[in-house]
A and B are shown apart, each in its own frame.
Chain A
């Protein structure tokens, strides 16, 4: 078996038993990246030197017979909106084209402490705004299952890199489905943790009340290993949560399990082949003895407008910092620039630095927050958000978890939706409510339509990551 297709614990065993060194493993991955990534374009930066020095450190520890963590020597890739000190961090935007990160995100500090090897930074929709990875200023990532199709977004580079075995695991971020949708389209496992569980310090902010960093992996076991390392309270993130319930034990046999199927997630317009695969997965749980209960989340139809009003409002404030003064691309120095005042600097740097979708969203957010419209859009959206959250609280009185599709379709063709922003937004229809309610959710491969993967979404109650991972394992085992 190729080194690059081992799971994390298999790789760990190989390292500890000296079947291969961390340096050999890193070289193997880097060679594969050189060969395969020309087709897929999942990387924005390959951090070869950093990877080599990290791998050598681990080899030293192994030769001295020191104990090493599970993630030690395991090569990873990081979505390019998460800061890794001294490595370029672009958020796939021209405005940060040459920006070198000045510090490590908290998740990166934790991964480095565990001894992981960072191979590079992966592609995304600019500032994580998109559902296809086509909004990258540096070109789209292609789906390894079919190069004519999108990876889903925004963490498309991370998902494709995991699917093509270009890394041991990856980190992504999820604001409205940005981990789960690409995981589903590329056929990998992706976890969006409960809001506040993983520190957002060092993650380039898009919508602060919705953003979460999470793992993207080949297996559920890998997903749990990575999640356990990156989670936890952080003084640098004032919304990170101190909680004991994080370790709540949840082992329940399938026959004790009550699974809710929200009827609003099985609607007209859904690809019948996708629906078939999801129904098949639900049937497997039923066969294992779980009780399947139809439930209703009555405010689901409002989730999409609520999400796009709230996330864009927050984005318009968060992206105000990109003015080309303290960092980022600035036109001021260029001879042709007609800049006279500070305001001109802002207008020109931002007008030229941001891509179409980012501008569109800043405009929508600015509009929703502007005098005279705040109540009708932003405040109203926040109130409907309350109802969406209560929908989940109500159904979780009756069931343990919810099963839904991740997306109504499989990966669509590159270019198919790029000219129609609204139809692109509709790709997120099954993932956004989870962010509005702050819940944990897992995207898990559960079948294929042709060669295109289908993802099952398992939505849990707050802080029940462990439980949804265990429940996911049932399907994973049946599948294997």
Chain B
């Protein structure tokens, strides 16, 4: 049985009581369907994360200089800010 409230907390989602009830029903029927995978034995199979083998793409960790207009655009969409900083609530 899926612990909806615990998972919602992990996913950082606030759900109403009504949503929790609905989610419990819907998710369990979808998870039942996923049980189809129990039928198949994959002990010796390697997992695929990407359809083609991808290599790590590396570069020097240097900041790229952005024009001020670009930075201004990023600042403009911030919901709460102080000067040129984003403002957040206290963490603890």
- Distance between Cα atoms of A383 and B47 in the complex (Å): 4
Q: Which of A341-355 contact B (CB under 8 A)?
A: 341-348, 350-352, 354
User: Which one of B19, B37, B80 contacts A302 once the chains associate, using CB atoms below 8 Å?
Assistant: B37
List the B side residues contacting A241 at CB < 8 Å.
52
Interface size on A, residues (CB 8 A): 71
Does B8 lie within 8 Å of A363, measured CB to CB?
Answer: yes
- Distance between Cα atoms of A102 and B36 in the complex (Å): 43
Q: Which of A333-373 contact B (CB under 8 A)?
A: 333, 339-348, 350-352, 354, 359-360, 362-364, 366-367, 370
Does A359 lie within 8 Å of B48, measured CB to CB?
Answer: no
User: Which one of B34, B51, B88 contacts A438 once the chains associate, using CB atoms below 8 Å?
Assistant: B51
Does B89 lie within 8 Å of A340, measured CB to CB?
Answer: yes
Surface stretch bound by B, among A141-149, A317-325, A404-412: A317-325
Does B80 lie within 8 Å of A333, measured CB to CB?
Answer: yes
The proximity string for B residues 61-92 relative to A, scoring 1 for CB distances below 8 Å and 0 otherwise, is 00000000010011011111000001011111
User: Which one of A320, A332, A422 contacts B79 once the chains associate, using CB atoms below 8 Å?
Assistant: A332
- Distance between Cα atoms of A438 and B10 in the complex (Å): 31
Does B47 lie within 8 Å of A363, measured CB to CB?
Answer: no
- Distance between Cα atoms of A359 and B27 in the complex (Å): 11
CB-CB nearest in chain B for A330 = B79
CB distance from B54 to the nearest CB of A (A): 6
List the B side residues contacting A370 at CB < 8 Å.
7, 10
List the B side residues contacting A363 at CB < 8 Å.
4, 7-8, 11, 13, 23, 27
Q: Which of B1-59 contact A (CB under 8 A)?
A: 2, 4, 7-8, 10-15, 19, 23, 26-27, 29-31, 33-34, 36-37, 40, 42, 45-52, 54, 56-57
Surface stretch bound by B, among A166-174, A214-222, A303-311: A303-311
The proximity string for A residues 430-448 relative to B, scoring 1 for CB distances below 8 Å and 0 otherwise, is 0000001111000000000
Does B13 lie within 8 Å of A325, measured CB to CB?
Answer: no
A347-B14, A384-B40, A386-B46 known; A326 and B86 CB under 8 Å?
A: yes
CB-CB nearest in chain B for A438 = B51
- Distance between Cα atoms of A384 and B34 in the complex (Å): 12
A102-B74, A327-B78 known; A347 and B12 CB under 8 Å?
A: yes
List the A side residues contacting B36 at CB < 8 Å.
301-302, 305
CB distance from A283 to the nearest CB of B (A): 32
Does A102 lie within 8 Å of B77, measured CB to CB?
Answer: yes
List the A side residues contacting B4 at CB < 8 Å.
363
Does B12 lie within 8 Å of A323, measured CB to CB?
Answer: yes
Does B19 lie within 8 Å of A364, measured CB to CB?
Answer: no
Does A384 lie within 8 Å of B86, measured CB to CB?
Answer: no
Surface stretch bound by B, among A26-34, A151-159, A374-382: A374-382
Q: Is A387 on the interface with B (CB-CB < 8 A)?
A: yes
Q: Which of A271-314 contact B (CB under 8 A)?
A: 299, 301-302, 304-306, 308-309
- Distance between Cα atoms of A462 and B77 in the complex (Å): 39
Q: Is A195 on the interface with B (CB-CB < 8 A)?
A: yes
CB-CB nearest in chain B for A371 = B10
List the A side residues contacting B80 at CB < 8 Å.
330, 332-333
Does B47 lie within 8 Å of A379, measured CB to CB?
Answer: yes
- Distance between Cα atoms of A389 and B49 in the complex (Å): 11
Does B48 lie within 8 Å of A389, measured CB to CB?
Answer: yes
- Distance between Cα atoms of A316 and B11 in the complex (Å): 7
Does A386 lie within 8 Å of B45, measured CB to CB?
Answer: yes
Q: Can you offer 30 A-B residue contacts whose CB atoms are under 8 A?
A: A100-B76, A238-B54, A302-B40, A305-B37, A306-B37, A316-B11, A327-B78, A341-B92, A344-B89, A345-B88, A347-B14, A348-B14, A359-B13, A359-B19, A360-B26, A362-B11, A363-B23, A364-B27, A364-B31, A366-B10, A367-B27, A370-B10, A380-B37, A382-B48, A383-B46, A384-B37, A385-B48, A386-B42, A389-B48, A438-B52
Which residues of B are at the interface with A, using a C-beta cutoff of 8 A? 2, 4, 7-8, 10-15, 19, 23, 26-27, 29-31, 33-34, 36-37, 40, 42, 45-52, 54, 56-57, 70, 73-74, 76-80, 86, 88-92
Known A362-B13, A383-B48; further 12 A-B contacts with Cβ < 8 A: A99-B77, A103-B70, A302-B37, A302-B40, A323-B12, A326-B77, A350-B11, A359-B19, A359-B23, A379-B47, A382-B48, A383-B46
